[in-house]
Amino acid sequence: MSFVEYGDTIKDGDTAIVFLGHESMFPVKVQHGTVTQTKYGVIRHSTDLIGKKYGSKVTCSKGGWVFILHPTPELWTMNLPHRTQILYSTDISIITMMLELKPGSIVCESGTGSGSLSHALIRTVAPTGHLYTVEFHQQRAEKAREEFREHGVEHLVTVTNQDVCKNGFGVSNVADAVFLDIPSPWEAIGHAKSALKAEGGRICSFSPCIEQVQRTCLAMEEYGFTEINTLEILLRVYNVRTISLQIPDLGKAAEDNSSTGFDSSNPSDQGSPCANLQQGTVQFKSGVPLREVVGHTGYLTFATKS
């Protein structure tokens, strides 16, 4: 099993996603002789999981059932253990696009955090690219190395435990893109420029406060970056529903019926618009935004090395 290569069957040692519903799922490490408790009963790894195909419907001991899904970066983002605040797929998708990442790209990242973005970056640059990720916190760096090894992507990523603002990324003139998610990104802009390839490399900085964005933009200008722009991604969901509205009285219904050739005695005309006119209401689909929407997460500042 690997997060960047699809496997057909569940094997001992795999990380799988137990799917109970769209709002209820969790990861599990598959091991011989182990059981997993769910609200639908027990799942026995040896008999219920190992050797079965991903996507299988597994019946639990109480008669309920779950699906066992192959892990992806998107599913991992929804289920990973939170060691820090993480980036979600809405921001990750625009980061991947604006950094112009593709298979074979070299990417530098700081900090690693819980690894949500890291898994998406690794999947994007595989099979020939590489991710150099720097984490200041030693325990988080060690846990990230362990997860990358368990997920079969350790050959695509190098985890370094150091302060990127003081010591940089450990590479020079090789990166196609740099991503910064640290409290003071303006202190790392110089190291980011050194890590980027000679020209044309892209940089992105994620910051929750506009004051951080202002200082970062000034530092980017100081180091000669161009095409500096800041985005904020807000997800606005619409609720589609059927509503009924009363039709205004624009004249006698009999005159309307005679002009349109409507025959109330003819059953074939009962579904016509005029039939709705006689009832005084009309139904149609309407889309309205939800009263409560997901608010601000952070600002994404992009720039290009000139």
The answer to whether 170 is annotated as binding is no
Q: What are the domain boundaries of the chain?
A: 9-71, 75-231+295-305
306 has a pLDDT exceeding 50: yes
Nearest CA to 206 among 232, 227, 224? 232
The answer to whether 91 is annotated as binding is no
The percentage of residues in the chain with a pLDDT greater than 70, rounded to a whole number, is: 90
Please write the tens of the pLDDT for every residue from 150-201: 999 999 999 999 999 999 999 999 999 999 999 999 999 999 999 999 988 9
Reported as a pLDDT band with limits 50, 70 and 90, residue 69 is: very high
The answer to whether 116 is annotated as binding is yes
The answer to whether 163 is annotated as binding is yes
Tell me whether domains 9-71 and 75-231+295-305 share a fold: no
204 has a pLDDT exceeding 60: yes
Hey, what CATH class is 75-231+295-305 in? alpha beta
Q: What is the largest CA-CA distance in the chain?
A: 86
Nearest CA to 135 among 152, 110, 171? 110
The answer to whether 190 is annotated as binding is no
Provide mean pLDDT across the span 288-296: 78
The answer to whether 135 is annotated as binding is yes
Question: What is the arrangement of strands in the sheet containing 157-161, beginning at the earlier edge strand?
Answer: 157-161, 130-135, 106-110, 177-180, 202-207, 299-305, 225-231
Provide mean pLDDT across the span 84-110: 96
Hey, what CATH class is 9-71 in? alpha beta
Provide mean pLDDT across the span 85-106: 96
273 has a pLDDT exceeding 70: no
The answer to whether 48 is annotated as binding is no
Provide mean pLDDT across the span 113-123: 97
274 has a pLDDT exceeding 50: no
Reported as a pLDDT band with limits 50, 70 and 90, residue 277 is: very low
For 39-129, list the strands marked E by DSSP: 41-44, 57-59, 65-69, 106-110
Reported as a pLDDT band with limits 50, 70 and 90, residue 290 is: confident
Strand partners, 241: 286
Provide mean pLDDT across the span 14-34: 94
- Which pLDDT value is given to residue 253? 56
- Which pLDDT value is given to residue 162? 96
In this structure, of 13-27, 66-80, 281-295, the range with the lowest mean pLDDT score is 281-295
Reported as a pLDDT band with limits 50, 70 and 90, residue 123 is: very high
